[in-house]
Structure 1
Amino acid sequence: MKSVHIAKIGENRNAPRVWLEGGALKAAGFEAGKQFDVLLDNEKKSIRLTVCENGTRIVSMRKRNDKVVPIIDINASQLLECFSGMNSVKVIFDNDTIYIVPVPSEKKRIERESRLMELIKSGQSIPCGSISHGGGILDHALHSGFESVGIKTKLVWANDISAEMLEHAQEHNSLWDKNTVSLAMPMQELAWDFDTLNALPETLFLAAGIPCQGASVAGRAKKGTACAEQHESVGGLVASFLAIIGKLNPSILLIENVVPYQSSASMWIIRNQLRDFGYTLHEEILNADDWNVLENRSRLCAIAVSSGLNFNLSDLSRPEKEQKRLGDILDDVPLDDSRWSEMKGLLAKQERDIADGKGFQMQVCDAESVKVPTIGAGYAKVRSTEIKVRHPVNKNLMRQVTVKEHARCKMIPETLISDNVSLTFGHQLLGQSICYPPFVAVGELIGKCLLNLKNVFKDVHVKSNSNAAYQAELF
């Protein structure tokens, strides 16, 4: 191989055109006046030019500053039809041979779309992967949506920094089976662990909850950072995430995060790089309230689909409004249970915060409350700004919600959390997760899109025809 260039596909006389000229041609043996032949391989989507004494084509030329510049002008619809829909091609210059093939991003796009089409047509399960899996609640919601419209899926691997989270998911999350690969390692280590990535099963759908500590309002306030990327632990994970995507080449991927992540530098990098990878990105803020969830949590949902697949996130359906009360999901906690407390320390802190102008106040709800504030991963620390349940008789007493009540506030199936889990672990698993129904709806929408694959894929494949007469008409 002498050199590799990326050449634009232009247009001339209403036909596609690839124009090659200059030193790369000469170095490969295609000097002005040399004869060459052309061979089209539609199946491999490639064109091969070969220097030969009795070739059917001749290298053209023009003079520039008294120097002869070789030129090859490929301007034929039939020859370049195999690159239909592409903006550029990869040109490989070798000794007496030139190969014209799709650019790497287009090659990978065709590969992932073709493979997805094969699986849908054959009725096989779509292999799925998960980054920052946690307890797998996001994945369970999405897969429930897939299943509801008849799309079969299987979780082939899951990654999380916490081995404890993965072990809990393996035991309590029905997505896991004996073949699911557990990857208990930081995302940034997985990104450069090529041995592990190469050993993973094929992945055509990927869900990722990129850690949000750097972008969340609370996280930035705690660290005093100016931007999400300044966070020392998770600020650079966008690079690791994109490296994994580039390696695994999924057909569809979903990212969920806190709303402020939408305006972060990381999200802009994701948008631009996924576009260059050959994806179309769709974004929407999902408000759990639209799905009648008690916890009023909003999340960014970004879905990247391979650009040959039509998808519209605005088609997402929402249920009819239904009034719910906190009292409908509360456990029957005895009135004299030790968990009831006056929480004098938190009340005193509230007074200090008000005096300091901080505006932090306790969030106390009762059985008649129709909304509850966001319950975070650190809820077990008994923080002043997260939900407290007021005693039904003694208004001076309050308590924390239980782990099961926490799950119900997010409408997360209680089967996904162990009955014997600790308060710290249980609230962490649920608090770093999502409200369940919105992402079931997202799964349903993606599933419907997959069901319509036969009609919505753009036709980037052309029939192969290698007879001599066809080849002779190409220039």
Structure 2
Amino acid sequence: MATSIINTKLGENRNVARVWLEGQKLSRGGVNVGARYALHMQEGFQRFELRPVPENYVGETFTVSRREKNGIVFPLFEIRSETFRKLFEVSAKLRVIIRDARIIITRSQIDIKIAERVKRFMEKLKNGQKLATVSLFHGGGVLDKSIHSGLQKAGVGSFIQVGVELEDAYLESSLRNNKELWSEESIAICGDIKEINLQGGNIPQADILVAGLPCTGASVAGRSKNKISCAEEHSAAGSMFVDMLDWVKASNPAMVILENVKQYASTASMMVIRSVLTSLGYRIKEAVLQGTDFGSLESRERLVVLATTPGIADEFEFDNVVPLRKKPETLKAIMEDIPLDSDRWKDLTYLAEKEERDKAAGKGFTRQLLTGDEASCGTIGKSYAKYRSTEPMLIHPLQSALSRLFTPQEHAAAKTIPYGMVEGNSETVMHEILGQSVIFAKFEAFAFAVGMMLQYTLNFGELTSYCGQVCGDLGKNCGLGNICQLGVDAQTEMPDPASWIAAHAEDYLLAA
């Protein structure tokens, strides 16, 4: 007997839940006009089964009717029963399997995965368990450690379940310097993300997926250097967003955190990412955040994307992300005392000549020669150790012809990255790790805001009305509850998330 699979939704007719099926798809599966069916709920399997019954069957039944359209007769099966509401809500996506005249109704595969990840995430949150993270394009672990730190400050633990990084030196550095990120359960993968087999269901299920997608083809400098017109044209990095989405499907995280250069927001890649994540049941919020707004001396704008599953941190807003540290007034606050006769000072006349050639060619690139009195500096990139002409350098205080690079310690401090994260590497590797990293304080503040919203979800997520369920008799207690002074929305009868977080943030920070 043939099999038919139908994707549909639970509807409603005259306030009664209804499943509507029609067409040759029923006939192929053995469901014929005039047949009577009984509905059975199989709660353990979270499904319903409709089985044909004999003529003498006593009990509620549903009969397959007929419909004719354009001279073609086919079965029409309307199953109206409030029993459906015991497992499904109205508008829930359903998967109907018809074979050998039997009909099985379950949630759609996407809805099953949504329910599974919410259940897993919330159980861990309630039990104080660490959230498992998949880290893609891990680098030296700066993005992951900043998120780990921010969540921890909000009382939410995390660890890397799977970490993937192509460059051996970067992964080695993270394993050595970020021991709090890794556990006995962690899987560290050194290799090309495209060569990892995601088939067979062996990928651990995650709570959070973090990916600093390679920006080589999306940044202004990257497009210019590689002579490409769009991010997707880059031979190595252009399709890596597809691999990231494959990992989302395989690991089924409750939250996805992405970062990239701000130009990535308008790429075709990001449009596909938004579309696919939405189809998988995620809600997406995004913003461009500036590093100097969060205590960094390096001016570095980045696109930050948070995709959450409904029921988890629903009320998160980027407006609630606030700095956790104060920015130093000038670069001198982080500058080391380098001897004036140190060999770090270089005569870089060739860079000055290149600058003149670039100006003459209309390229618009100029050198960033700094004294230390500046309030910030421009972006320091991956290849900083190669003395790239457009990146920040410090001028010798006595000999203007000489200049030097920021030391690795200064570079780390400019990005608010703990220097210990890159210790033990050559200066070149340290600059590479730091140069393609995020502003630590920015993502720490972002993760803290996410963590505080998770605490809000933990406290109020199961309530539909704080006033009615907690305070009780509105006539006697309205305005006298423990959180009424923080503001309770008159329509939702729930505490204002921003006010609750602002009132409790300091307590969490002090406890951390």
TM-score by length of 1: 0.91
Match of 2:186 in 1: 180
Task: Give the secondary structure class of the aligned counterpart of 1:194.
Answer: coil
Aligned match for 1:254, one of 243, 254, 257: 257
Aligned match for 1:298, one of 273, 290, 301: 301
Alpha-carbon offset, residue 194 of structure 1: 2.8
How far apart, in 1, do the equivalents of 2:256 and 2:382 lie?
A: 25
Question: Unaligned stretches of 5+ in structure 2?
Answer: 465-512
Alpha-carbon offset, residue 377 of structure 1: 0.3
After superposition, residues 434-453 of structure 1 pair within 5 angstroms as: 434-453=438-457
Aligned match for 1:431, one of 425, 432, 435: 435
Aligned match for 2:291, one of 285, 288, 292: 288
How far apart, in 2, do the equivalents of 1:228 and 1:36 lie?
A: 55
One-letter code aligned to 2:206: T
Cα–Cα, structure 1 residues 28 and 241, in superposed 2: closer, same or farther, change >3 Å? same
Aligned match for 2:64, one of 52, 59, 63: 59
| 1:267-292 deviation digits (Å, cap 9, x = unpaired) | 00000000000100110111111112
Alpha-carbon offset, residue 153 of structure 1: 1.3
Alpha-carbon offset, residue 85 of structure 1: 5.8
Cα–Cα, structure 1 residues 43 and 284, in superposed 2: closer, same or farther, change >3 Å? farther
Q: Percent identity?
A: 34
Aligned match for 2:206, one of 183, 203, 226: 203
Match of 2:486 in 1: none
Aligned match for 2:278, one of 269, 275, 278: 275
How far apart, in 2, do the equivalents of 1:68 and 1:14 lie?
A: 29
| Contact 2:67-2:76 within 8 A present in 1 as well | yes
How far apart, in 2, do the equivalents of 1:415 and 1:457 lie?
A: 41
Aligned match for 2:219, one of 216, 219, 226: 216
How far apart, in 2, do the equivalents of 1:156 and 1:351 lie?
A: 50
Match of 1:462 in 2: none
How far apart, in 2, do the equivalents of 1:222 and 1:85 lie?
A: 53
| 1:396-434 deviation digits (Å, cap 9, x = unpaired) | 32111111111000010111111x421221111001110
After superposition, residues 450-465 of structure 1 pair within 5 angstroms as: 450-454=454-458, 455-456=460-461
Alpha-carbon offset, residue 236 of structure 1: 1.0
Aligned match for 2:231, one of 228, 232, 237: 228
One-letter code aligned to 2:453: C
Task: Give the secondary structure class of the aligned counterpart of 1:375.
Answer: coil
How far apart, in 2, do the equivalents of 1:253 and 1:125 lie?
A: 16
Match of 1:91 in 2: 96
The answer to whether the aligner puts 1:407 opposite 2:408 as a matched pair is no
Cα–Cα, structure 1 residues 290 and 183, in superposed 2: closer, same or farther, change >3 Å? same
| 1:219-247 deviation digits (Å, cap 9, x = unpaired) | 11111211110111111112111111101
How far apart, in 1, do the equivalents of 2:163 and 2:91 lie?
A: 34
Match of 2:15 in 1: 14
Higher relative contact order (CA 8 A, sep 6+): 1
| Contact 1:308-1:458 within 8 A present in 2 as well | no
Cα–Cα, structure 1 residues 409 and 323, in superposed 2: closer, same or farther, change >3 Å? closer
Q: CA RMSD in A?
A: 1.9
Task: Give the secondary structure class of the aligned counterpart of 1:294.
Answer: coil
| Contact 1:145-1:441 within 8 A present in 2 as well | yes
Aligned match for 1:162, one of 160, 163, 167: 167
How far apart, in 2, do the equivalents of 1:194 and 1:96 lie?
A: 33
One-letter code aligned to 2:38: D
One-letter code aligned to 1:181: I
How far apart, in 1, do the equivalents of 2:371 and 2:44 lie?
A: 66
One-letter code aligned to 1:422: S
One-letter code aligned to 1:45: Q
Match of 2:468 in 1: none
Alpha-carbon offset, residue 300 of structure 1: 0.6
How far apart, in 1, do the equivalents of 2:278 and 2:149 lie?
A: 28
How far apart, in 2, do the equivalents of 1:383 and 1:156 lie?
A: 37
Match of 2:5 in 1: 4
How far apart, in 1, do the equivalents of 2:90 and 2:430 lie?
A: 50
Match of 1:240 in 2: 243
Deviates more, 1:427-436 or 1:71-80: 71-80
| Contact 1:284-1:313 within 8 A present in 2 as well | no
After superposition, residues 142-157 of structure 1 pair within 5 angstroms as: 142-157=147-162
| 1:104-149 deviation digits (Å, cap 9, x = unpaired) | 1111000000111111122211111200000000000001011111
| Contact 1:130-1:159 within 8 A present in 2 as well | yes
One-letter code aligned to 2:285: H
Task: Give the secondary structure class of the aligned counterpart of 1:214.
Answer: coil
One-letter code aligned to 2:5: V
Number of paired residues?
A: 455
Task: Give the secondary structure class of the aligned counterpart of 2:45.
Answer: coil
After superposition, residues 115-130 of structure 1 pair within 5 angstroms as: 115-130=120-135
Match of 1:29 in 2: 30
How far apart, in 2, do the equivalents of 1:425 and 1:139 lie?
A: 18
Alpha-carbon offset, residue 306 of structure 1: 1.0
Task: Give the secondary structure class of the aligned counterpart of 1:183.
Answer: strand
| Contact 2:324-2:441 within 8 A present in 1 as well | no
How far apart, in 2, do the equivalents of 1:354 and 1:244 lie?
A: 45
Match of 2:114 in 1: 109
Cα–Cα, structure 1 residues 85 and 290, in superposed 2: closer, same or farther, change >3 Å? farther
TM-score by length of 2: 0.85
Task: Give the secondary structure class of the aligned counterpart of 2:379.
Answer: coil
